Structure 1
Amino acid sequence: MKKLVTLFALTFFLVAFTPVGNTPTKDKNTAKALLDKVVVKAKSYKNMVIDFKYAINNSAENINQENKGKVMLQGNKYVLFFMGVTKLFDGKKIYTIVPEDEEITVSNNDENDANAMSPNKIFTFFKKGFKYSMDIKQSVAGKTIQYVKLTPSSVTDKRKEILIGIDTKTNHIYNLIEVGKNGTRTTLTVTSFKFNQKLGKNQFTFVKAKYPNYYINKAD
């Protein structure tokens, strides 16, 4: 769960980029223009419903796992379904619902906490701390995917690089690939992207009555 949230760090609003490193200015400007298009497009939607596939691989550690999930976003609110756990943010509180344990953890959202990653930051996590440049372009299932490479500015960052795959026709993010310095490769691929959907009135509201036997743990 934590790793997924780190990738989602996959969101959709106002990104400011500052040229850094030794990447040619033209290359940086091209990458910036493409990322700006992604942000503007996503910002134009009332809401988004995204199905995704999440894979983590490390051959040296014999790790090869794959899971599916779904996230719904509207403004700064979201509901994330992943590995049997539901994480709901109503704009003020975060509710982590674990049916297996019949437990709900309620916590505050701290926008100033850099480590408090969430699904509604998938398009803004690269705002600070990265050098960026254009990478390869590939044809995937009839789509033209242009990758932008992000390289952490800090030498202490455990990530070697992050690749953002962008569908050049729709300006939607197709996938995110995080490569760790330890050889771990984490990939989040969007399998379905819908927008301006008719969502339930209480879609982003925690309704306690739905969980009558659950233990509620207030973390903050």
Structure 2
Amino acid sequence: MNKAIKMKKVVSLILFLAMSFSMSAQDKKAKDLLDKVTTKIKSYTNITIDFKYALNNSKENINKESKGNVILEGDKYYLNFMGITKIYDGKKSYTIVPEDEEITISSIDEKDENAITPSRMLTFFNKGYKYYWDITQDVKGRKIQYIKLIPTNTKDARKEILLGIDSQTNIIYNVIEMGKNGTKTTLTVNSFKTNQPLSKNQFTFASSRYPNYYINKLD
């Protein structure tokens, strides 16, 4: 074999190994940072978040923005978003739609991987994704480190997710989802408060508050 060709192959192999090592190291950095986020989230008794949600699709000329807030405590949550209130008391989910004067009551199977629970809202990235160290951005003096998540399920409608994490606090700043159809959704945390005093009835649904509502029980 020509020495030049042989040397070229050896160099190519060395570069490949070097790149593989670099990627492996970056993936470990990503995993370590995600573990820090998970540990931080689980250390709080409760969390209150105000957020902004944006949906964009240039091909379909869609640009929508809305705001919301959610209170999380253990296996319970109270969510207000797009005019709808959703309460989960740890056993049943209550979806309240004032516009239609309708309430839907259903149970949530904790074993269902698609079920929305507090722990999955802020630590969804722990399962079902490959993750990679991505860019760092300065946002109003805050160093935001992005981790790129690639869904392992090929049927997932999302192409990739960028998870922005505040490097100083290890708290999620934003989540950017890129759909395979060109749709981009961005959830940005405007306010993140922890261990707030909550009413003992914060996650309790009372039908008496909605006397004229139609109640739809799914189970």
Measure the CA separation in 2 of the matches of 1:119 and 1:90.
11
Q: Equivalent residue for 1:33?
A: 32
Instruction: Output the amino acid matched with 2:197.
Output: K
Q: TM-score, normalised by structure 1?
A: 0.87
Q: TM-score, normalised by structure 2?
A: 0.87
Q: Equivalent residue for 1:129?
A: 128
Measure the CA separation in 1 of the matches of 2:86 and 2:51.
15
Q: Equivalent residue for 2:65?
A: 66
| CA deviation vs aligned residue, 1:88-142 (integer Å, no higher than 9, x gap) | 0000000000111111100001122222234541233222221101100000011
| Superposition misfits of 4+ residues, deviation over 4 angstroms | none
Any stretches of 5+ residues in structure 1 without a counterpart?
1-20
Contact 2:56–2:185 (CA<8 Å) still a contact in 1? yes
Instruction: Output the amino acid matched with 2:27.
Output: K
Contact 1:88–1:95 (CA<8 Å) still a contact in 2? yes
Q: Equivalent residue for 1:151?
A: 150
1:22 CA drift (Å)? 9.8
Measure the CA separation in 2 of the matches of 1:63 and 1:112.
35
Any stretches of 5+ residues in structure 2 without a counterpart?
1-19
Measure the CA separation in 2 of the matches of 1:95 and 1:75.
17
| CA deviation vs aligned residue, 1:172-193 (integer Å, no higher than 9, x gap) | 1000000011111000000011
1:216 CA drift (Å)? 0.9
Instruction: Output the amino acid matched with 1:98.
Output: V
Structure number with higher relative contact order (C-alpha < 8 Å, ≥ 6 residues apart): 1
Measure the CA separation in 2 of the matches of 1:41 and 1:131.
21
Q: Equivalent residue for 1:18?
A: none
Q: Identity of aligned pairs, percent?
A: 63
Instruction: Give the CA RMSD over aligned residues.
Output: 1.6
1:86 CA drift (Å)? 0.2
Q: Which has the larger radius of gyration?
A: 2
Question: Which sits farther off after the overlay, 151-160 or 34-43?
Answer: 151-160
Contact 1:138–1:146 (CA<8 Å) still a contact in 2? yes
